[in-house]
Structure 1
Amino acid sequence: MKTLPLGLLLALAPFAQSAEADPAAKPAERVTVTAKAKAPNTVMLPILDVAGLPRVLLIGDSISIGYTLPVRKLLAGKANVHRIPTNGGPTKNGTANLTKWLGDGKWDVIHFNFGLHDLRHMDDGSRQVEPADYERNLRSLVADLKKTGAKLIFATTTPVPEGKLTPPRTFGDVATYNEIALKVMKENGVAIDDLNTAVAPEIAKLQNPHDVHYNAAGYEVLAQAVVKALQKELGK
């Protein structure tokens, strides 16, 4: 057997020691990183009523989510402004969930909108809710809303920008759906809050690029229109 030179043995000694298992050493512990739970959207949280103030309920999709807090701020001390705890989506979602959204409390004014989700195109090219079904669903919703005894306000569906959207999606004709809604509301004596007209003149400045949603200035314009409509009904 050949013997390694002493110098080489001394040089290799530290590496040999580090390779030996330390019987006292503990196995490496697996570190588990737990993702923090997503904080709830404050817009969706229930509010406490101020005694003596009228109760208002906002029903609608993500557009209404965007103007809820500005409306609540503008009507602070004048009305208790509630909203449904979710994105209202299309009319078929409304007919399925309206009873739950209304709850057991008394409402003085209910401001509602359905339309943008209804006219959205699905993968097969059809709209999520076709015009005839949209009208039928609206009539059902209005009939149930009238049973609450609250004053009702329907908000028209806001514009969809031209061109490609981010995320990619396409929509049917907003005007067609608004015409259907206006007919139903007129026949039922429901007040109109024409949000479409409120933002249309300066839509390029108020809407996020390539999106149906709005920037802060846009939601402020929408909130002002909603508040004006609410105050008109609250003052009657």
Structure 2
Amino acid sequence: MVLVIRVMVLMLVFNVASSAWSQRANPAFSDPEIDPNLPNVLLIGDSISMGYMIPARNALKGKANVFRPKTNCGPTTKGVAEIEQWLGDRKWDVIHFNHGLHDLKYMGPKGQNLADPQADGAHQQVPMDEYQKNLRTIAKRLKQTGAIVIWRETTPVPKGSQGRVPGDSAKYNAAAAEVIKDVGGIATDPFYEFALSVKKEQRPANVHYTSAGSQQLGQHVAEVIAKALK
């Protein structure tokens, strides 16, 4: 019994250490060199935003301190649960945010990730109506910060992507547009259209982008934020 407890404790310590190492190892989770004279920018998003995080920060060097949560922000359900932690106590000047690819992906009846959309019991992780409800909660909270808030559209799902259906991004973006318009006072980054312009840099049958693609996405985000700061 004592041996079992010791093994469990060691496993717990290993998992915590592994998670901490993973966060430190990913450049997207690093903090910027803070200049107190510059505005603070928060980027919220999933692995797509993790890919363009450093390019956006580099493009805004000398113009803003660019941060992001030290996690994949995933679906809107995670956003609702963790938004206070992500905001922290820092004064934000611009918040650029997105949720979508994790909401629209399909799960199996037993929680299997990226399930075949045609399989029995497969369902989208966050249905459209719940997505809109969650997004409304997040958008209203972000507005309360007093920052300039920018909704970033969700990127396209290419043909052959596991657990997702091409065209669903456009549907979820349309649903999001209704919420953003209703909440009011939030700008929209037409990211979907821009992402289509760099479609050749999206990996085959994969929602993710090459390094060159992430570089271009980051440059676009930086331009949108720089314009907002003016």
| Class of the TM-score when normalised by the shorter of the 2 chains | 0.7 to 0.9
- Structure 2 residue 78 is the aligned partner of structure 1 residue 93: yes
Give the structure 1 partner of residue 169 of structure 2.
174
Q: 2:197 aligns with which of 193, 198, 201?
A: 201
Contact (CA 8 Å) 2:155, 2:195: kept in 1 or not? Answer: yes
- CA shift, 1:125, in A, is 1.6
Q: Give the whole-Å Cα distance in 1 for the aligned partners of 2:39 and 2:220.
A: 19
Query: 1:60–1:113: 8 Å Cα contact kept in structure 2?
Result: yes
1:199·1:221 contact (CA, 8 Å) conserved in 2? no
Q: CA deviation at 1:199?
A: 1.8
Q: What amino acid sits opposite 2:144 in the alignment?
A: K
Larger RCO: 1 or 2 (CA < 8 Å, sep 6+):
2
Indicate conservation of the 8 Å contact 2:107/2:122, yes or no. yes
Q: TM-score, normalization: structure 1? A: 0.79
Identity %: 45
Deviation of the 1:210 alpha carbon? 1.6
- 1:88 & 1:114 partners in 2: Cα distance? 8
Give the distance between the partners of 1:234 and 1:170, measured in 2 at CA.
35
Does residue 221 of the first structure (1) align with residue 216 of the second (2)? yes
Whether 1:125 aligns to 2:117 is no
Runs of 4+ in 1 over 3 A off after TM superposition: 36-39
Contact 2:198 2:213 in 1 (8 A): no
1:151 aligns with 2:148: yes
CA contact (8 A) 2:150 2:188 kept: yes
8 Å CA contact 1:118–1:134 kept in 2: the answer is yes
Aligned match for 2:45, one of 41, 60, 65 = 60
Match of 2:112 in 1: none
| Number of residue equivalences | 197
Q: CA deviation at 1:192?
A: 0.8
In structure 2, the partner of 1:9 is none
- Could you tell me whether the CA contact under 8 Å between 2:159 and 2:165 is conserved in 1? no
Give the alignment of 1:63-78 within 5 angstroms.
63-78=48-63
1:86-108 C-alpha deviation (Å, 9 max, x unpaired): 00000000000000000001000
Mind listing any 5+ residue stretches in structure 1 that lack a counterpart? 1-33
Task: Compute the displacement of 1:55 (Å).
Answer: 0.2
Name the structure 1 match of 2:27: 42
RMSD of aligned alpha carbons = 1.7
| 1:143-200 C-alpha deviation (Å, 9 max, x unpaired) | 111111000001000001012x3xx322471111000111211222211111110021
Query: Helix, strand or coil for the counterpart of 1:228?
Result: helix
Aligned pair 1:192/2:177, yes or no? Answer: no
